[in-house]
Structure 1
């Protein structure tokens, strides 16, 4: 009876997710050219028969520190392209990478994706209301949101891979996320979600840290804490570079 009860409890155990990253800290130096973060994990109490069964879907999201963003729209006026309108958004992720076992919109209903900010179309982007404008046109807001995502994608700060997560067993999975050279320095939040038949079964969150090191860190700290010294050093370096160029390439008489 005891053995039978234990087996029943094991079958009734709910699936959950455990995950981690290959590193918790990334050093940003003057020679930083980008890197890749390996994400891996397991589905606890998996009922999946094989790696390719497709019982579960995994989504991993890596987000940078939120920051306000202004999006400007250019129009042709009098033969010139000039800024004719703009929209400022409340803080949005400065970096956003999403990898999944298949396209996001196939995993769950939009309301669930909206609630968790999963996918470019579901990131919370709230325009800042202006005092002189009582309401904003939804179509205009949607247009600026799409433009914001396009600009971030062009800068490689918003990236996605619809088939970037792969199961390597009944429960084990892995994925890689690329950090570009221009990734904003600061903490990164990693969220890994477990879906089954359109339902969110569980999630796991952790944090990575991007820190400046070496000369990069020294310059950053001097610029922030000793702005006058930083300005003088910059002028001195420019002067030395100019003199060196003058001696190296003297003007022909």
Structure 2
């Protein structure tokens, strides 16, 4: 797996400040009272990754879990032939880690600079034991992650390259934007063109042509290499 392993050591002076957290209203801990958040913050620390750093590798000991504060990460695994398979993209407020398990099943790699709240798995599980509302929230997030993985499998199986790209943009739109906030939302592609082409089973050249086709159809407008304005969300999601 390319890129350095970041390890699980916290940032210097990385104590959590839940009152100032930008995802405090949408992360799994949003269901906790201020007093419960204070207790949770006592076992966590901030961790910052640069693009390409890995938080953990598939198959290693599951010693930590985390909430993403900013940036994005991908979850992937290598096949026996060395092919990387993407299982999901984590956006801010997303939860990472395998609770009640001794090993990780995917590799978590930062796609951009990413800041996380990092918790020792054992300590976090002990917090869960007395807070069923937090457990329910994590279970709901886990089901959402499974749904996203299933959606990725389905879109990759579509015959039309254009439909595959539309499907990926629709997933990105759901992950990055709150429905109804703006009529023409803007998304930032976390994957570069080479990785996105590999995910969708095509070449960079074909991918570029399909972006052009969606633009010609009036569905999107490109702003640089990675920023996409969704001109017609209903048609894209339809």
Same fold by TM-score, threshold 0.5 exceeded? no
Greater radius of gyration (CA):
1
- Give TM-score, length-normalised by structure 1: 0.27
Tell which has more relative contact order, 1 or 2 (C-alpha 8 A, sep 6+): 1
Which structure is higher in strand share? 1
- Give TM-score, length-normalised by structure 2: 0.28
Which structure is higher in helix share? 2
